Amino acid sequence: MPHLEREGEVLILDLGEDENRFTPHWIASVNGLLDEIDVERPAALVTAATGKFYSNGLDLDWMDRNPDRRTEFIDTVHALLARVLTLPVVTVAAIQGHCIAAAAMLSMAHDLRIMRADRGFWCVNEVDLGLVFTPGMTALLQARLPRQVAHLAMTTGRRYGGAECVTAGIVDAVAPSADEVRAVAVQQARALTEKSGNALGKIKHRMYGPVIEQLQLGAWPADKPSPPVLTASP
């Protein structure tokens, strides 16, 4: 389960050691830790994980078992993405393993991303599953990725390795191993700790106002009739 660790003035939010799929319980756990971070207000925050996955994204099996809660659940995912995007501290994602779909979106809500060079993929593979991005998710990816990269990633489900992610502008740097990914992420975060504070939070809010607005509209705006979001397309 998610938990907090500390390296000096940098807090590390470890997402877990398995697939770390997004479920209501997992999101509640992460939000509880972010509540602690809000109170403590560290100089910087690194999110990381242990094992094969940074995160494998939404738990689609849970969503299939709970169709009546799907929209409510996606709204909590939106809220988490918006929350990380606007945290008033420097945030760095240490991507030591596969970073898939909603997890890839979560990584893009961070200020910086460090990825493992030798293994692991970053991808948004909704198109391969016949799923439709919500307006909020679309806005986030388009805001944080180069335009053509966003198009290719979202329409082809392309899997990017570490070196490809650097070239494409998806991540900021790579490190040789899982342990070194975390170490480099902490180093990068520590170098920027003086930037954290209320001004940083306000800058992020103004930079990404349209994204936040889309995320707050919900899984699908009520006045725009469309297919059920994040379900198989016809």
pLDDT, residue 226, reads 41
Q: For residue range 205-225, what is the model confidence (pLDDT) as tens digits?
A: 999 999 999 999 876 554 444
- What's the topology of domain 3-194? 2-enoyl-CoA Hydratase; Chain A, domain 1 (3.90.226)
pLDDT, residue 179, reads 87
pLDDT, residue 40, reads 87
Per-residue pLDDT at 234 exceeds 70: no
Q: Which alpha helices (H) appear in the chain, and where do they start and end? A: 24-40, 60-65, 70-85, 102-108, 126-129, 135-144, 147-156, 162-168, 178-191, 198-207, 209-216
- Interval 182-195 mean pLDDT: 96
Give the pTM.
Answer: 0.93
Contact 114, 175 (CB under 8 A): yes
Rounded CA separation 172/48 (Å): 15
Domain ranges of the chain: 3-194
Strand duo 10-14 + 3-7: pairing: antiparallel
